[in-house]
Chain A
Amino acid sequence: MMRTIEILIVIIIITGAFITASFFAVLPWPRQVSPMNLRRLAFTTLQMLDSNYDLSNAAFETDDYALWGGLQVALAASLPPNVIYNLTVYEVTGETPQLYTIIDSMSNAESLGATSDASSYMVASSNVTFNVVPEKIGEHGGGGTLYILNCSDAPGWWITGYTAQSLAQDLNNLLSPYFSRTIVVQSTTQLATILDGNALQGENPQSAVVINTCGEAVPIPAGYYSSNGVGYDSSHNSYARYSYVLGQRVLEYNWTWVSIVGYPLYYVSNTGSFPTSQNTWGIYGMRDVGAAGLNAFLRGLDNQSYSYDTTWLTGSPGVVYLSNQAVDSSNYYGVYPSPYQTSTRALPTSIRNNYNLDVTTYVFNPVGNYIPAAVYRHKVTTGDTTQYEGGLYAIGLTRTTDIRLTTLGLLADYKPRLYHAEYTAKGTSRVVILQLGLIGGS
């Protein structure tokens, strides 16, 4: 009998334990298991109301009954019937201790019930223009010079619909805010000057960016740089040697050479030097170099000996898409080229090993063994130290050129920061907070 009583006592104890455990192990309400995400609902509602800046206008015109009342109508109409709201507009004062002061609010309930959540949304006054000051490339280190080749005595190719001069002007407008100095190289004579390492306007030629606006053609100065054994290869009747010298200069001065479209360095152009020569397509003042130009340039860039090599390098991957890095930069800098383009002159991945190149920025995603557009940096190893000296930004797209891609690639690679004007400047920004609650059964 005693054992039975003991067991009954044990059962009472376990029952007590179960009741105690059940008391603490309270299962949540069904709405807590799968709650409506009120925070996201509030945020997306604010975004939707501001999709045409109606919210921004109303937040700055709370005394305007039509605007403020219209916002209330839209808010009430857009939320489910079981959702109650409180929308409050705050002024950003930017002063301590009170950073925000309440301007106005609207609500359709006295309290927001047991379950509520809120989202905030910053709106800007339509009367305010925010200034953006870009960081200058080179202001915190070497380089910072941008050379734009606008040689009046050198025609271009594959820039159909534009002239080298118009492209140079657009590039100047787009890129000069980001560089310490922007020099427009007006003739092949001036080009010879910078190839000699001399400044045109007191700038620092070292570590400069050189954009060739002539497309597949490259301006060639008359005289020394066109002479036999320097720019001219008499044994092959070719100016491929000039491209070799260009590669050497790019290495020597740590330049970044930019080819804006097509097959880089495919022609050389100078109306004075080649008045009766044409590029096989009827453009006079130009000589066909072919694939030997790029091969020679890469050999010069990698400090290899010159050889005349006509091996065709590029491939044609077709439609290509901007890389994630380019898309991010596109949004950051506000430069919006079409996200997909056609590439017929994409460089092969093999040049990275053959010429000690690293890709520092993919502008378009690689396709198979081809890279449609990328910034290549040349590696130089001294002892245990590896550094970059010289670079090439090749955009292997088909014509016609889009200089927004030139801009985007350079900005994505150099990454100059943008300093936005103070968003908390008094009277320019307001914060809208939408708090949502649920009514009805659980």
Chain B
Amino acid sequence: MVSSTIDHMIAVTVFLAATLLFIGLFNQTIQTAVIYQRHRSTSTKASDLLDSMLLSPGIPVNWGQTDIDPTSFGLQDPEFTQYKISPYSLMRLRSSVGEPVYYNATEQYYSNVTIGERNFMLVPYNLALEYSAVTRLLGINNSYGFQITLTPIVTVSIQETSESPLTLKVTAAGIGFPLSYATISYCFLKVGVKGQSPNYDISFNTVSADETGSVNINIDGVAAGDAYCLIVYARKGGLVGVGYYERVDPSERYVIPFIDSFEDGRVLLAHSYDVHLGGPPESAVFFNATFVLLTEDFTLREMPITQEKTQIVYGHGSDKTYENITIPTHNPGILVVTYISNNQDGVVLMPWGLSSLAFPVTFGGDASKQEWVATDIRQVTVGGIAYQAQIALWSLEGYQVIG
């Protein structure tokens, strides 16, 4: 009787232990399957959301070229179909990478995309859409977070191989392959001085790259200390990319362009000391602005800009420390501002339409801090320039990760 009871107790104990063990094992399998389904759902959502953003222009359709906020979010160029993205809508996204810039004169923060030392795209916060607003417009607030990145497919690098005579080596390459025998169209702008103001000479040309995607461009009449900039468009078989290079004096006095109105094409030109440095009065900066646009046959064309004043004063009691210029078109192009201050000259570039200088853009939350992120990519064109759009999407509802 006793042995039977003991046998019974041992059996029950072993059975219960085994049951608990197997419940845990099956539960683990089921949980993994549930997580798989959730990940799969997030992955599908990422693909759908990317298409939703890239294949809709938003409402109003031209919101990127206005100063109003959209009531529906989309990045497609309203003048086209398919995966053609508006270069202006992209400019109106608040960059999640660049350190914002505060400008005292306008009392505003600016979304900052700065490439190199003298290539700026500064958009005031009141015109730049913030991430939370976009998630609300997309209907994913509190359920998903995302980050969208658009990077140019073609990289055009420019290297100065000889100062005098000036020789520049231009190399065009895609993501995984050089752009062999690419057609290279370029605009060379050399800064000169006319009286107290800067002057410039501008020239255009087209050459061909070799099988490695490289070409040497020789420019006559440029001395060792001359400031200049070279803007290059490379194209091959439907791929188009942009590159640029400047030689400037290492002066800390230069011009910084701030976008003030997309609708009116108004840009504020500020003294660099007024933005970054401060301190006692500094020499004024004299400037001369022009606009270069890419035509449909992929050549560059100059469009002069009317400018009433060509001097920016800093710290001399002036109540307005910047000057206004107006870009007279909504065609993408490049604002080129030559400047001189105390015999030190240089060039500042600003894209009008993100693609003109192939600026990358990163918008949204921080994907690196997320537990599980679904990604997807599309090939798109922005203002005719080839870009790759990548989305990273994560769920905000949390996952119970095990193991």
Contact = CB atoms under 8 A, between A and B. Distances in A.
Interface string A406-432: 000000000000000000000000000
Nearest to B377: A41
B379 A45 contact: yes
A41 B379 contact: yes
A10 B180 contact: no
B84 A81 contact: no
B22 A14 contact: yes
A261 interface: no
A52 B43 CA distance: 32
Interface stretch (A26-34, A125-133, A162-170, A277-285): A26-34
Interface in B61-75: 61-62
B7 A21 contact: no
B350 interface: no
B175 interface: yes
A78 B39 contact: no
Interface in B41-63: 42-43, 46-47, 51, 59-62
Contacts of A74: 174, 179, 236-239
A11 interface: yes
Interface stretch (A1-9, A139-147, A250-258, A348-356): A1-9
Interface string B121-158: 00000000000000000000000000000000110000
Most chain A beta carbons < 10 A, residue from B51, B81, B379: B379
Contacts of B8: 3
A73 B180 contact: yes
A173 interface: no
B238 A80 contact: no
A232 to B, nearest CB: 46
Nearest to B84: A51
Given A22-B29, A36-B376, A81 B40 contact: no
A4 B60 CA distance: 76
Interface residues of A, number: 54
A75 B175 CA distance: 10
Interface string A161-202: 000000000000000000000000000000000000000000
B238 A55 contact: yes
Interface in B24-44: 25-26, 29, 32-33, 36, 39-40, 42-43
A140 B3 CA distance: 99
A34 B43 contact: yes
Nearest to A66: B181
Given A33-B40, A50-B238, A77 B26 contact: no
B353 interface: no
Contacts of A72: 237
Given A33-B36, A78-B379, A78-B386, A14 B18 contact: yes
B175 A77 contact: yes
A1 B7 contact: yes
Contact of A54 (B174, B238, B374, B376): B238
Contacts of A7: 11, 14-15, 18
A304 interface: no
Contacts of B3: 1
Top 4 A-B residue pairs of the complex, sorted by shortest distance between their CB atoms: A77-B174, A74-B237, A54-B238, A49-B238
Given A48-B386, A77-B154, 18 more contacts: A3-B8, A14-B22, A25-B33, A33-B36, A33-B39, A34-B46, A49-B239, A51-B238, A73-B177, A74-B174, A74-B179, A74-B236, A76-B174, A78-B153, A80-B377, A339-B61, A339-B78, A340-B61
Interface of B: 3, 7-8, 10-11, 14-15, 18, 22, 25-26, 29, 32-33, 36, 39-40, 42-43, 46-47, 51, 59-62, 78, 81-84, 153-154, 173-182, 236-240, 374-381, 384, 386
27 contacts: A1-B3, A2-B7, A3-B11, A7-B11, A7-B15, A8-B14, A11-B14, A18-B22, A27-B33, A27-B36, A34-B40, A37-B376, A40-B378, A44-B378, A45-B379, A47-B82, A48-B83, A48-B381, A49-B237, A49-B238, A51-B84, A51-B238, A52-B384, A54-B238, A73-B180, A77-B176, A80-B377
